[in-house]
């Protein structure tokens, strides 16, 4: 599975890019969660305080919106990933 992260400011300036590969076969939701975790890590490393995360995976977005209320294994992993969102002022 390959993933990419592009960081852009309000003027569409791109100060950073990142990407990588995971040697695993996984479901699309797990792949999107891995990419989301990488986005959170990149934003944290760049000390960005106000962040907008975008995803085309509606089920992952819904799981993030109702964090703490999803009792599935994926929901628990989303909750762990969302704990890092507290480092930002605005998400």
Q: In the chain, what are the domain boundaries?
A: 2-87
Tokens of 73: 């294994």
Radius of gyration for the alpha carbons in the chain, expressed in angstroms and rounded = 13
Higher pLDDT, 91 or 52: 52
pLDDT the model gives residue 5: 73
Higher pLDDT, 59 or 25: 59
pLDDT per residue as tens digits for the range 22-53: 777 778 888 888 888 888 888 888 888 888 88
Asked if 18 contacts 42 with a C-beta cutoff of 8 angstroms, the reply is yes
pTM exceeds 0.85 for this model? no
pLDDT band at 16 (very low <50, low <70, confident <90, very high): low
Mean pLDDT of 73-90: 84
């Amino acid at each position: 599975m390959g993933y990419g992260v592009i960081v852009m400011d309000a003027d569409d300036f791109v100060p950073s890019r990142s990407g990588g590969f995971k040697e695993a076969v996984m479901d699309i939701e797990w792949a999107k969660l891995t990419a989301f975790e990488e986005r959170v890590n990149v934003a944290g490393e760049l000390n960005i305080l106000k962040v907008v995360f975008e995803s085309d995976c509606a089920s992952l977005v819904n799981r993030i919106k109702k964090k703490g209320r999803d009792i599935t294994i994926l929901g628990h992993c989303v909750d762990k990933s969302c704990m890092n969102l507290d480092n930002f002022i605005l998400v």
